[in-house]
């Protein structure tokens, strides 16, 4: 009964958010759902009990949770009440603080500004805006800036390759950003107005990336910075496109995969300890690492997903981990309900985690012919599991199918842990002595050169990727329903096998 109640709450809450993401039925709609839920419960208390009383209770809880999901979404959707939105299309003067790490692109830098003053007058509730500035001068997290320029609404755009439109406006709105400025006049008013902890973490990250840049040339240094500390440095438009073409864009930025590698490596170092102790230390290391790289929303989500994968692998308790995964997803949605529909990174990380938890145990017995050296068998299983499970979503959302993703992932991912290890040691030892760091940097450079060569070679193949102009939502849903049926059948077969063995014994 406890599980039924929990799943009713989760399904209702997530369903309410999903519905509100596509349709705004007005403030009366959640009240309507609550009234229906209350009426259903009232009928039970008035004595109209039946054999379906339990189902009526669950439906009423689901409806009430759905109303809460709609209300939570409404609470985060501040577009109509935004002071900045009311100034769109006009030149304004803003003051605010750089609230996250600057995003350095190939030709410009993007800053997310927490605006607290408009035209010299403080506003009651701080708002965010996205500002594009030139590379020079360099602005940092915590800088207080005066911005004078035109405030515009973000424009949606169409992908040149697939021809699909991207709702960039909704993508930014999920983070509370409804306006942007392009190359305004900027004056730095003050510095270090942000969190001291984050300032220290970003300073360490920048120093680390600087040391790596002294030891390893570009673009190898930028790739290593993305692998180890999630540094937002440009790899160049063409190279990024190559990573997308061959299906390994996930290694360029800090993702759940990178964080999981850290946990697995620590578990290997502590292999002589008890499993519970290894799991605890590895989990703490993942949390500390997330803090070190800034603990942004994407990193936090990746860390939570990676933690669940590690727990599932260590305990083998799929049912409990499934419940934990759903609860973790719901907690993320409570914090920001708009990520359910408008954040591709959340959707991909969730699906990839499901694939690792459920598909990996099915594939493992069938790949025993693959060597376990350098953890290669596990890389094969993880790669195939995630690729299979995210494929329908990628086809629906992006319309681009990489035909070489599987071999490229297999050729690259086995070396990523060593690349991260030697790269990290090179950067840290670089603080003490260049001579000490050079041997580690040399090994890291060799691994990075190999990985970049694989990406560039496969990306040049004429059949490397296939563009699919239209892949309907219903087909993606049907695909996942088929996955669910197959997983259900496998679980039943496993349960039957266990019961049969127990009966024979």
DSSP-assigned letters across all residues of 319-374: HHHHHHHHHHHHHHHHH-TTHHHH-HHHHHHHHHHHIIIIIHHHHGGG-TTS--GG
- The residue-averaged pLDDT of 323-327 equals 79
Of the chain, the end-to-end C-alpha distance in Å amounts to 32
- Token pair, residue 421, equals 């290890």
What is the 8-class DSSP label of residue 25? -
Q: Would you state the pLDDT for residue 370?
A: 75
For residues 28-54, average pLDDT: 78
User: pLDDT digits over 389-436, tens only?
Assistant: 888 888 888 777 888 888 888 888 777 778 888 888 898 899 888 889
Residue-level pLDDT at 189: 92
Do 181 and 91 contact (CB within 8 A), yes or no?
no
Section 439-451 average pLDDT: 93
Cα radius of gyration rounded to whole Å, the chain: 25
- Confidence at residue 256, expressed as pLDDT on a 0 to 100 scale: 59
Site of tokens 């991912």:
413
User: What pLDDT sits at residue 103?
Assistant: 83
Give the confidence band of 504 by pLDDT, cuts at 50, 70, 90: very low
Per DSSP, the three-state class of 65 is: helix
Euclidean distance between CA atoms 287 and 136, whole angstroms: 34
pLDDT of residue 297: 62
C-alpha angle 324/479/158, rounded to 5°?
A: 95
The mean pLDDT of 274-289, rounded to a whole number, is 75
- CA angle 379–312–352, rounded 5-degree value: 55
Q: Flag the least confident range among 234-248, 290-304, 394-408, 470-484.
A: 290-304
Number of H helices, E strands in the chain: 19, 11
Lowest mean pLDDT: which of 70-74, 220-224, 341-345?
341-345
Out of 175-179, 439-443, 454-458, which region has the weakest mean confidence (pLDDT)?
Answer: 175-179
Q: Indicate the SS3 state at residue 93.
A: strand
**Other beta carbons within 10 Å of 121:** 9
pLDDT at 208: 86
Would you call the peptide bond into 137 cis, given omega within 30 degrees of 0 as the criterion?
yes
- pLDDT grade, residue 95 (50/70/90)? very high
How far is residue 225's CA from residue 212's CA, in Å, rounded to a whole number? 8
pLDDT at 319 over 60: no
Q: How many CA atoms lie within 13 A of 180 on its CB side?
A: 18
Give the range among 158-172, 260-274, 351-365, 421-435 with minimum mean pLDDT: 260-274
500 pLDDT higher than 50: no
Higher pLDDT pick, 76 / 276: 76
Q: What is the mean pLDDT of residues 140-165?
A: 83
Asked if residue 209 has pLDDT above 50, the reply is yes
> Does the pLDDT at position 71 exceed 90?
yes
Q: Which pLDDT score, from 0 to 100, does residue 19 have?
A: 92
Contacts of 75 (CB under 8 A, 6+ apart): none
In this structure, what token pair is assigned to residue 108?
């410009």
Position of tokens 């240094």? 221
- 64: phi then psi, degrees, rounded to nearest 5: -65, -40
- Is it the case that residue 441 has pLDDT exceeding 90? yes
SS3 448: helix
């Amino acid at each position: 009964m406890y599980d039924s109640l929990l799943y009713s709450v989760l399904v209702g809450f997530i369903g309410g958010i999903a519905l509100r993401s596509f349709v705004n039925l007005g403030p009366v709609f959640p009240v309507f759902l609550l009234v229906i839920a209350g009426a259903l419960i009232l009928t039970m208390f008035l004595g109209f009990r039946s054999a379906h009383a339990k189902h009526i209770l669950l439906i009423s809880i689901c409806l009430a949770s759905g109303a809460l999901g709609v209300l939570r979404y409404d609470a985060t959707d501040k577009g109509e009440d935004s002071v900045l939105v009311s100034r769109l299309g006009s030149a304004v003067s803003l003051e605010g603080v750089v609230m996250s790490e600057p995003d350095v692109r190939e030709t410009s830098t993007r800053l997310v500004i927490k605006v607290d003053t408009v035209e010299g007058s403080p506003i009651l509730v701080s708002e965010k805006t996205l500002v594009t500035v030139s590379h020079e001068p360099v602005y940092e997290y915590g800088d207080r800036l005066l911005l004078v320029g035109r405030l515009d609404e973000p424009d949606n755009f169409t992908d040149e390759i697939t021809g699909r439109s991207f709702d960039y406006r909704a993508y930014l709105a999920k983070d509370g950003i409804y306006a942007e400025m392009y190359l305004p006049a900027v004056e730095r008013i003050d510095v270090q107005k942000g969190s001291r902890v984050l300032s220290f973490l970003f300073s360490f990250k920048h120093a680390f990336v600087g040391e790596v840049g002294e030891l390893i040339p570009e673009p190898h240094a930028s790739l290593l910075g993305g692998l180890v500390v999630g540094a937002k440095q440009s790899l160049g438009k063409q190279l990024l496109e190559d990573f997308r073409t061959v299906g390994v864009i996930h290694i360029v930025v800090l993702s759940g995969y990178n964080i999981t590698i850290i946990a697995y490596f620590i578990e290997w170092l502590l292999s002589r300890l008890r499993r519970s102790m290894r799991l605890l230390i590895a989990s703490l290391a993942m949390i500390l690492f997330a803090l070190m790289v800034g603990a942004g929303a994407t990193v936090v989500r990746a860390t939570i997903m990676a933690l669940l994968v590690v727990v599932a692998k260590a305990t083998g308790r799929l049912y409990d981990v499934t419940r934990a995964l759903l609860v973790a997803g719901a907690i993320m949605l409570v914090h920001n309900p708009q990520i359910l529909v408008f954040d591709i990174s959340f959707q991909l990380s969730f699906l990839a985690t499901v694939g690792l938890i459920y598909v990996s145990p099915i594939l493992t017995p069938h790949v025993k012919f693959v060597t376990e050296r350098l953890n290669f068998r596990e890389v094969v299983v993880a790669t195939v599991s995630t690729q299979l499970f995210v494929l329908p979503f990628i086809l629906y959302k992006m319309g681009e199918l990489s035909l070489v993703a599987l071999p490229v992932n297999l050729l690259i991912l086995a070396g990523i842990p060593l690349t991260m290890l030697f790269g990290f040691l090179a950067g840290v030892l670089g603080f003490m002595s260049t001579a000490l760091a050079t041997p580690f940097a040399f090994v890291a450079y060799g691994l990075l050169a190999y990985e970049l060569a694989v990406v560039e070679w496969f990306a040049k193949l004429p059949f490397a990727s296939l563009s699919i102009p239209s892949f309907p939502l219903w087909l993606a849903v049907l695909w996942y329903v088929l996955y669910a049926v197959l997983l259900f059948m496998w679980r039943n077969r496993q349960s039957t096998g266990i019961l049969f063995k127990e009966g024979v014994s």
